[in-house]
Structure formats: C-alpha cells, structure tokens
Amino acid sequence: MKVRIAVLVSGGGTNLQALLDAQKAGKLPSGEIALVVSNTAGAYALERAKKAGVPCCTILKKALGSQAAFEDALEAKLREFDIQVIILAGFLNILSGSFTEKYPGRILNVHPSLIPSFCGEGFYGLRVHEAALQYGVKVTGATVHYVNQVPDGGKIIAQKAVEILPGDTPQVLQRRVMEQAEWVLLPQAAEQVCHEIMNHSSEDAK
C-alpha cells in the first residue's frame, strides 16, 4: 500500500507539477498523490490536478470565517481521503500549532532559500529572492523541512544550493531556484518520507 499524499496549494502549482511528473516517471514509488487542496479560488494548480486525474477541491478561509473553521474543514477532507502525508507546495496559509501537532513528521514544506537564511514570517515568494539579492549573498537555494508551529521552523529534510549570478533579478533567481532546487528536492524528500512511513508500517505489522 502506497502512502497517500495531499498537496496543499495556493497558486500556479509548479511544485505540484514537479511531484506529478515525478510520480508519472516512477520516482515516487512509496507514495501517491491522492488529493490536491487549494485555499484560493481558481488556482491554476487545480487544473494541473484535474489533468493528472487527481481529486481536488477548494477550501476558502474567508467563506468559513476563521482559521479554525478552515482547518476543521481541511482536516475533514484529509480524513475523507485517508491522507497520511501533507505537502505544502506554495501554500500561503500558516497552519496553526494545534493543526500541525496532529500530524507530527507528516507535513512537509518547500522554502526557496537555505534555511535559516531568509525564512520565517513574511518571507515567501519573490520576497525571499529580493532579500537574498539585497543582502548580496553569492549562494541561495531551497529547503524541504517538516512543518511545526513555527513558520519555517521544523527539522530540515533536504537542502540544495543554487548559485546567484551577476545581473540576477528576483524573477530570474526565483526561476533558477525552482528549476535547480525546488523541483528536484521536493519529489526526493516526498519519496524519502513516504518510504520511511512504509517501513515503519511494515515493522509495526510484524
């Protein structure tokens, strides 16, 4: 039995696509993407899920009135699909500690810098790359880490460095970090975590 994965998205879903492509190429043998959830209406990531034949839905915090109601609805959906691992792929909603502690070692996030640089509250999307360029660092990259109650604060699973080149703009750098680090690391980390869960399950079954 493969480990069932939910991918949470907010936008275009390029990291979701990297996971779907990895699954199609047989690089995610221990896991399967069983659900995609968006917290924004009309996110292009939902189209990617539909094209791949993966069930998807939208849960809107605004419509539900609070973060707690949003997380209750999300949890119900995860239970309905028997989800074991949650991957945040460009998901712009900070989950509460009371939510994350229900899934210890089961929620992964990809962040577009080498944590602990340029991370934490307020650092997402282009802001991360703008900060790296302003600071003048010569190397950046991406990090996949477990999610806990501290934004970008969970244990690191994998990191990959990416060179900053003269003349880089935040947009150019963002693209390079995605192509060279995020899209490579995220499927690898997903497989690693799912593989470990499968091994634990088979040990428990003995």
Q: Which amino acid is at 52?
A: A
Is 195 designated active site?
A: no
pLDDT in tens, the chain (206 residues): 999 999 999 999 999 999 999 999 999 999 999 999 999 999 999 999 999 999 999 999 999 999 999 999 999 999 999 999 999 999 989 999 999 999 999 999 999 999 999 998 889 889 999 999 999 999 999 999 999 888 888 999 999 999 999 999 999 999 999 999 999 999 999 999 999 999 887 777 66
pLDDT reported for residue 150: 83
Burial (CB < 10 A; 0-12, 13-18, 19+), residue 137, is middle
Q: How many CB atoms lie under 10 A from the CB of residue 184?
A: 16
Alpha-helical regions (H) of the chain: 14-24, 44-51, 61-64, 67-80, 97-100, 126-135, 170-177, 183-205
**Residues 6 or more apart whose Cβ sits within 8 Å of residue 81:** 4, 6, 34, 35, 55
pLDDT of amino acid 206: 62
What Rg do the C-alpha atoms of the chain give, in angstroms? Answer: 17
| Beta carbons of 201 and 106 less than 8 angstroms apart | no
**So what's the pLDDT on residue 149?**
84
Q: Specify the pLDDT at position 14.
A: 96
Report the predicted TM-score, pTM, of the whole model to 2 decimal places: 0.94
Domains along the chain? 3-205 (3.40.50.170)
DSSP 8-state code for residue 81: T
What is the sign of the dihedral through the CA atoms of 27, 145, 168 and 19?
positive
Q: What pLDDT, on a 0 to 100 scale, did the predictor assign at position 25?
A: 98
pLDDT value for 170: 97
pLDDT score at 201 = 73
Reference 183, options 6, 46, 16; nearest CA is 16
Tokens of 18: 């990297």
pLDDT given at position 205: 63
Cβ proximity of 174 and 126 under 8 Å: yes
List 111, 145, 195, 200, catalytic entry:
111
